[in-house]
Amino acid sequence: MMSCRQGGGWCNDVESCMERAITRRGSTRYMTKLETSLLYFRGQKIWQAIISDLLPKGLAHAEEALLSGCSAGGLAVFLHCDSFTRFLPRNASAKCLSDAGFFLDATDIGRNYSMRSFYNDLIALQGVEQSLNRNCTTSETDPWQCFFPQHVLGYISTPFFVLNSAYDVYQFHHILVPPSADLHGHWNHCKNNITVCSESQIQVLQDYRVEMLKAIYPFYKKSITGGMYINSCFAHCQSESQDTWFAVDSPKVHNQAIAEAVGNWYFERNRTKLIDCPYPCDTTCRNLIA
């Protein structure tokens, strides 16, 4: 059985959460008008309700199970991976895959930790700390650290696969160069078309790639059951589209498409930890700047 968590970002203050509450990303009722100023943060209850719904439909007797997710859903896989396995039979083979969920704890071009601040506000507003990995929160200095994959990954015991671009478009636009750090729009053209980026802008992107590889290196070096596929395509979420997942012209690293690499890891055919060469050497990339 495979369970997939959809992406869609987050809200970190009352105003942004109120705006979200009247969209499909905030309510299953798709409300067009908000009649109340109350907000209910029920992510953990929704997660438990989903699992409770799946158990009698086969999850309780599953022999193999994969929890996956993309973007914000990919981050959720890091947060729920070990708890997911506790619902399964003891002899079940449970594994987790995060696509585009390895959000980096890094400074933006203004040398500010804007994403760290965002997550810290989110944790405080929504009371997320109680749902974070216990081994991580008792070992790290601050709870927000355990919301970032690079800090929590080492505490996850379930076999884990990290699928991510070293130049993830969402991170490029919102962590490395958020609007707050580029008030005059010097990066706008580069964001829309990577081929027009200046040499200095490309170097900033290359430095970000190096920082991501450094952050995931402990997992690369120490994890026996883990797998990874870090390509150099300007994209975000590559497992949801057949074009990038497994097509004739899909992106490849070491001549392996994403689906092939994930399959080799999942079925334990070989050790699968693939890292692409830096941009622009990979000619198989589609570079989806959207």
- Active centre residues (catalytic): 71, 168, 236
Query: What CA–CA distance (Å, rounded) separates 249 from 247?
Result: 5
CA angle centred on 216, ends 83 and 174, rounded to 5°: 90
CA distance 26 to 20: 5
Strand partners, 233: none
- For residue 237, give the nearest of 149, 179, 150, 170 by alpha carbon: 170
- Taking the C-alpha atoms of residue 30 and residue 50, their distance in angstroms, rounded to an integer, is 19
Q: For residue 244, give every residue at least 6 positions away whose Cβ sits within 8 Å of its Cβ, in sequence order, or none.
A: 233, 235, 238, 250, 251, 258, 286, 288
